[in-house]
């Protein structure tokens, strides 16, 4: 059987495509693009919350936040390793990120202004990540699907710790409750933008669905996230900042207001509140870490020569 048919049969049978299998160049390129940008998102995503590790209000909260930020680093490493199975070079991917030639999730270009943001990021941002990443456990590319299984287990801890932090604040003082509401007001719409542009403007969704890289479209997952978040917000006692948010019994989903796609594309194209700061921080960390990479390479070479 020819290789293309074998590939198509593997995908159609919901089996996994593995690194050694033949695959169309476009399939490989789309996977490198998505996995690399997913990895970049995890690494850049350490910055907003990292900002609060030294300011956490208790040792317990500090330990939880430290564990979460370390998890994100691990997620980035799994995903760079998955990209390498496609022939991508990790150093090159990092250089593309720093040069602005590859993207990372828009959500990480917003500032974390109060401690309530740590809880809201856990609840909404990691909650959105779970909606987006659970289906990726069934993505057609084996190494990506397997990386997602471990990532999703850790994401559910991330989401629960955030929600528990907010429940604690909401049973606190009037001022703490106001901090949570103000944070939700800032993070709700950017969280909806995490799922990408509307399907009608998504240049990659159709092909990614055919190749079963994506298992649901951007709008389907966004809707799933809205439907999941509304009862959680009610339980928490916060108001989601959308006057058009209402249950539509006919659709069996919540209707919600129009997202500001001008803001979305501005942030994606580099003009968000923190884009320059995030990329500059990543560039500096990469440069400051060059000596570690050189030492590790020299040590590996010495070990090889001694063997």
Determine the 3-state secondary structure of 104 from DSSP.
coil
The residue whose two tokens read 């909260």 is 61
- Give the other-Cβ count within 10 Å of 214's Cβ: 25
* 62, 53 contact by CB (below 8 A): yes
3-state secondary structure 41-71: HHHHCHHHHHCCHHHCCCHHHHHHHHHHHHH
- Bridge partners (DSSP) of residue 248 are 253
The residue whose two tokens read 């703490």 is 176
The residue whose two tokens read 């090159």 is 92
Minimum separation from the CB atom of position 199 to ligand 3HC (A): 8
Cβ nearer to ligand 3HC, comparing 42 with 117: 42
Q: If we measure between CA atoms, which residue out of 286, 222, 283, 271 comes closest to residue 110?
A: 271
Cβ nearer to ligand 3HC, comparing 177 with 196: 196
**How do strand 253-255 and strand 246-248 relate by DSSP bridges?**
antiparallel
The Cα 179–Cα 160 span in angstroms is 19
Cβ nearer to ligand 3HC, comparing 88 with 129: 129
Minimum separation from the CB atom of position 47 to ligand 3HC (A): 12
Cβ nearer to ligand 3HC, comparing 56 with 221: 221
* 105, 278 contact by CB (below 8 A): no
* 205, 221 contact by CB (below 8 A): no
- Bridge partners (DSSP) of residue 17 are 141
Minimum separation from the CB atom of position 256 to ligand 3HC (A): 17
**What burial class does residue 152 get, using C-beta atoms within 10 Å of its C-beta: 0-12 exposed, 13-18 middle, 19+ buried?**
middle
- Quick one: CA torsion of 151, 101, 28, 207, rounded to 10 degrees? 90
Give the chain's radius of gyration (CA, Å).
Answer: 21
Please count the residues of the chain.
307
Minimum separation from the CB atom of position 217 to ligand 3HC (A): 8
Minimum separation from the CB atom of position 198 to ligand 3HC (A): 9
- Footprint of ligand 3HC on this chain (CB under 6 A)? 33-34, 37-38, 41-42, 45, 72, 103, 105-106, 125-126, 129, 132, 155, 193-197, 202-205, 208, 218, 268
Cβ nearer to ligand 3HC, comparing 126 with 242: 126
Minimum separation from the CB atom of position 14 to ligand 3HC (A): 18
Minimum separation from the CB atom of position 162 to ligand 3HC (A): 10
Minimum separation from the CB atom of position 57 to ligand 3HC (A): 22
Cβ nearer to ligand 3HC, comparing 119 with 197: 197
Cβ nearer to ligand 3HC, comparing 37 with 223: 37
Cβ nearer to ligand 3HC, comparing 146 with 239: 146
């Amino acid at each position: 059987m020819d290789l293309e048919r074998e590939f198509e049969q593997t995908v159609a049978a919901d089996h996994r495509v593995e690194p050694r299998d033949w695959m169309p160049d476009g399939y490989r390129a789309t996977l490198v693009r998505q996995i690399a940008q997913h990895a970049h998102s995890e690494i850049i995503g350490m910055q907003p919350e990292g900002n609060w590790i030294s300011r956490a209000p208790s040792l317990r909260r500090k330990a939880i936040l430290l564990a979460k930020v370390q998890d994100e680093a691990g997620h980035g490493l799994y995903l760079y390793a998955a990209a390498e199975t496609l022939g991508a070079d990790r150093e090159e991917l990092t250089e593309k990120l720093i040069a602005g030639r590859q993207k990372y999730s828009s959500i990480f270009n917003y500032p974390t202004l109060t401690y309530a943001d740590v809880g809201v990021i856990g609840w909404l941002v990691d909650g959105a990540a779970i909606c987006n990443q659970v289906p990726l456990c069934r993505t057609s590319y084996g190494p990506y699907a397997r990386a997602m299984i471990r990532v999703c287990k850790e994401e559910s801890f991330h989401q629960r710790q955030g929600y528990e932090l907010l429940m604690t604040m909401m049973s606190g003082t009037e001022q703490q409750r106001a901090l949570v509401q103000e944070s939700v007001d800032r993070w709700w719409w950017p969280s909806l933008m995490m799922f990408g542009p509307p399907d009608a403007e998504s240049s990659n969704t159709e092909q990614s669905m055919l190749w079963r890289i994506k298992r649901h479209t951007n709008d389907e997952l966004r809707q799933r996230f809205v439907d999941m978040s509304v009862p959680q917000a009610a339980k928490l006692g916060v108001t989601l900042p959308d006057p058009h948010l209402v249950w539509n019994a006919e659709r069996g989903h919540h209707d919600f207001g129009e997202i500001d796609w001008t803001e979305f594309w501005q942030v994606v194209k580099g003009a968000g509140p923190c884009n320059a700061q995030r990329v500059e921080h990543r560039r500096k960390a990469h440069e400051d870490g060059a000596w570690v990479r050189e030492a590790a390479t020299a040590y590996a070479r010495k070990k090889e020569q001694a063997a």
